[in-house]
A and B are shown apart, each in its own frame.
Chain A
Amino acid sequence: MSKLFPKSANRLPLQIIIYVFVLGGIVTAATNYYATPKYTRVGYAPVQPVPFSHTLHAGELGLDCRYCHSNVEKSGHANIPSSQTCMNCHSIIKANSPLLEPVRTSYETGNPVPWVNVHVLPEYAYFNHSVHIARGVSCVECHGRIDQMDVVTHAKPLSMGFCLDCHREPEKFIRSPELVTKLDWKHPGGVEGQLEQGKKFVHDWNVKPPQSCSGCHR
């Protein structure tokens, strides 16, 4: 009678067990790497109806973020500006540019320019811009160096872990509220300077960022 299984089959159960662990490790690592906002959201740069350059407007011209996003200090929602905001300058500057045609049409008809929203939180998460601006959390902490983006790109993951990094240690991030729109600002004292000043602000302003579920999922 011939042997049904070769001798090497004796090692097979162990090899299968080892392989299952290896495969499990690979799947875990892949999920960890790909199935988080660090992969799914970061780098999202939709094509906009008008190729508006923040590099030019916020960087070179030095327009304050709040010239256009004028409600960000008063409202939970940071508004996309009306087309009149564009026309404040573009009724004179580059008034006939074909690239600005959607803006002119919008201004004449009253229908909004169909801008594509880049940073969209899941709707089970609550976020309020004004409270963060008022307590010196700069735009740059969540949006990155918008003033260096020709095309606005989703720079930070905006995941729950990302929010909690700051909610647990706000002193690492908060600055004087006058400086919130200065995207290139870093504390001149470096990390220690930021920590020292941040701790003072957290104490003086009684900053208590919620870490409970209902703080954001309300």
Chain B
Amino acid sequence: MRYVYLATFFVVVLTVGILGFRGSISSRPPLEVFPDMDRQPKLRPQDASTFFADGRADRPLPVGVVARGSMRADAAVYQGRAAVGDWVRGIPSAVTVDARFLQRGRERYSISCAPCHGALGDGNGITKAYGMGATPTFHDDRLRTMAEGEVYNTITNGKGTMMGYADKVVPEDRWAIVAYVRALQRAQHGSVADVPTAHKAELGIQ
């Protein structure tokens, strides 16, 4: 009987030796015991597919097709263009600007813009240290007087070395970012007169 236990012990050691312990790093795909249940004949987002010529499951919209509810006819809201072909000035009235909207703008700005443009909008984002060329500051006269529609268009389609963010930031959020950029510009050009009297003491100013 002793030999049976010895043999069992040997098998256990062998098994642990081959299979290792939990959490060990491996580049082999996880074992699936019933793969026909785990992997079903259906397509998930961004799957590969042998059915279509381009090998993808995701299908691009055919040219000229607009999904229901996705019609973007309002040139001011969706392209930042005014009726006469110039850029719209101010945020289009179809978009409501309130504190919540600005907070949304701040959040979206921090995610998508701050890596290059910097948290203050001065063009000193983290990418500058890694070789991103001259990112302009928002606080010069050219950008302070730029029409809101043109800022919107820059987010949408990019400009110079900046690529468009149309695929990442939806139109509503682009306007929120435009509004927040205006807030950043305002903040950099504040004066003593802008500080409410009640808060002047905190800053040690008269």
A positions within 8 Å CB-CB of B: 15, 19, 22-23, 26, 30, 33-35, 37-47, 61-64, 66-67, 70, 75, 77, 79-80, 82, 84-85, 87-89, 91-94, 111-112, 122-124, 153-154, 178
CB distance B161 to A93 under 8 Å? Answer: no
Q: Which residues of B contact A23 (CB under 8 A)?
A: 8
CB distance from B159 to the nearest CB of A (A): 13
Binary per-residue interface labels of chain B (26-47) against chain A in the complex, 1 for a CB within 8 Å, 0 otherwise? 1111111100011110101110
Across chains A and B, which 3 residue pairs bring their CB atoms closest together, nearest first?
A77-B45, A122-B38, A70-B168
Q: Could you tell me the dominant secondary structure of chain A's interface residues?
A: loop
CB distance from B199 to the nearest CB of A (A): 25
Interface: B100 (CB within 8 A): no
Q: Which residues of A contact B56 (CB under 8 A)?
A: 112
CB distance B127 to A61 under 8 Å? Answer: yes
Interface: B71 (CB within 8 A): no
Q: Which residues of B contact A39 (CB under 8 A)?
A: 19, 22
Q: Which of B87-95, B110-118, B142-150, B188-196 contacts A (4 or more CB under 8 A)?
A: B110-118
A15 closest partner in B (C-beta): B1
CB distance from A148 to the nearest CB of B (A): 14
Interface: B140 (CB within 8 A): no
B28 closest partner in A (C-beta): A44
CB distance B22 to A42 under 8 Å? Answer: yes
Interface: B98 (CB within 8 A): no
What are 12 A-B pairs with beta-carbon distances under 8 A? Answer: A39-B19, A40-B31, A43-B26, A44-B26, A63-B115, A70-B112, A89-B116, A92-B132, A111-B55, A122-B37, A122-B39, A178-B107
Cross-interface CB contact of B25 among A89, A112, A153, cutoff 8 Å: A153
Cross-interface CB contact of A38 among B22, B26, B33, B167, cutoff 8 Å: B22
In the bound complex, how far is the Cα of B70 from the Cα of A38, in angstroms? Answer: 43
In the bound complex, how far is the Cα of B12 from the Cα of A23, in angstroms? Answer: 10
CB distance A47 to B27 under 8 Å? Answer: yes
Q: A19-B4, A39-B19, A123-B37 are in contact. List 13 more A-B contacts (CB 8 A).
A: A30-B15, A33-B22, A43-B23, A43-B25, A64-B111, A67-B168, A70-B112, A77-B44, A89-B127, A92-B161, A93-B130, A111-B54, A112-B46
Cross-interface CB contact of A85 among B15, B40, B45, B168, cutoff 8 Å: B168
B158 closest partner in A (C-beta): A88
CB distance B22 to A124 under 8 Å? Answer: no
